[in-house]
């Protein structure tokens, strides 16, 4: 693998940052301030990676391109000489993944959960849809003493359902409704209360916006409950018009141009 390929793979990791805390040539890849890879951008030949201590002796014995971590704890780090490696590219990638995962696992829960939450789409025929109905009822309806009804769900089979999945269960959801090829509407945005304040809602909206952009749609509108309008403003949505009442509480219409 080339230096550019390895550096690019590291930077593609969720929340990865490229930093130079030591000098202008030592590239340090971090997550939430903690290092998971170190590359020498002068020689462009080596990368330092964290690895489980019990597995390091086996790596050193098997591969000539791997040596104890240079200027690092030799119990926890290895140096991979990737320019002349006697291992496959996919095995180098796997070592990067292991290093990244070790750092993620060491992070506080509020940082670790967003890093290990994935976002996906599902249909009304999938198990995630039933989970989303329960989440919507708990987060959006129960506080208003309301219940989701069959009438509320009419037409949802024609909409795009988006969910955030953590450890195999749905912890966030929203519905994306393309309207006229130019604009889409987001509705029913809900995040499990146990996972609020971790950036899950922002990531969910980002995923919805990415889908919308890929469809060639230019803007998203939504009806925000007035008490959360400020949060949507932090996501670069703008208020359109006067407030109105929906499901018995004040709302505002908001828009974001993509």
Compute the average pLDDT of residues 44-62: 95
Each residue of 5-37: pLDDT tens digit? 999 999 999 889 999 999 888 999 999 999 999
Report the topology of domain 3-107: 3.90.1150
Q: Is 216 helix (H, G, I), strand (E, B) or coil?
A: coil
- Sequence spans of domains, the chain: 3-107, 116-257
Q: What is the pLDDT of residue 93?
A: 96
Query: Contact, 195 vs 172, CB < 8 A?
Result: yes
Q: What is the pLDDT of residue 129?
A: 98
Q: What is the pLDDT of residue 9?
A: 96
Residues 91-97: contacts with CB within 8 Å, 24+ apart?
92/1, 92/6, 93/1, 93/9, 95/49, 95/51, 96/6, 96/9, 96/10, 96/36, 96/37, 96/47, 96/49
Compute the average pLDDT of residues 53-71: 94
For the chain, report the end-to-end CA distance as a whole number of angstroms. Answer: 36
Q: Round to whole Å and give the CA distance between 89 and 81.
A: 12
Q: Is the pTM of this model over 0.85?
A: no
Q: What is the pLDDT of residue 71?
A: 87
- For residue 180, pLDDT beyond 90: no
Each residue of 113-155: pLDDT tens digit? 998 999 999 999 999 999 999 999 999 999 999 999 999 999 9
Q: What is the pLDDT of residue 50?
A: 97
Q: What is the pLDDT of residue 187?
A: 97
Compute the average pLDDT of residues 181-199: 95
Quote the tokens at residue 118.
């994935």
Report the topology of domain 116-257: Aminopeptidase (3.40.630)
- For residue 84, pLDDT beyond 90: no
In this structure, is the dihedral angle defined by the CA atoms of residues 224, 211, 207 and 139, taken in order, positive or negative? positive
Q: What is the pLDDT of residue 179?
A: 84
Average pLDDT score, the chain: 95
Q: What is the pLDDT of residue 181?
A: 83
Q: What is the pLDDT of residue 65?
A: 95
């Amino acid at each position: 693998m080339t230096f550019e390929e390895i550096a690019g793979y590291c930077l593609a990791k969720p929340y990865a940052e490229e930093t130079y805390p030591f000098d202008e040539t030592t590239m340090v890849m971090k997550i939430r301030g903690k290092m998971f890879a170190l590359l020498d951008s002068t020689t462009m030949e080596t990368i330092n990676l964290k690895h489980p201590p019990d597995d390091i002796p086996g790596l050193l014995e098997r591969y000539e391109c791997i040596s104890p971590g240079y200027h690092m704890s030799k119990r926890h780090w290895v140096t991979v000489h990737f320019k002349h490696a006697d291992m496959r590219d996919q095995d180098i990638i796997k070592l990067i993944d292991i290093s990244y995962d070790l750092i993620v696992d060491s992070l506080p829960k509020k940082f670790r959960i967003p890093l290990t939450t994935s976002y996906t789409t599902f249909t009304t025929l999938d198990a995630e849809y039933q989970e989303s109905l329960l989440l919507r009822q708990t987060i959006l309806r129960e506080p208003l003493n309301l219940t989701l009804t069959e009438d509320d769900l009419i037409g949802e089979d024609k909409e795009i359902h988006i969910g955030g999945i953590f450890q195999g269960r749905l912890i966030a959801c929203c519905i994306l409704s393309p309207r006229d090829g130019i604009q889409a509407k987001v509705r029913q945005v809900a995040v499990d209360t146990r996972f609020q304040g971790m950036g899950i809602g922002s990531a969910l909206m980002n995923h919805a916006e990415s889908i919308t952009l890929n469809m060639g749609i230019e803007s998203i509108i939504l009806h925000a409950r007035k008490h959360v309008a400020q949060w949507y403003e932090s996501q670069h949505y703008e208020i359109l018009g006067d407030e109105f009442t929906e499901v018995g509480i004040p709302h505002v219409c908001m828009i974001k141009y993509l």
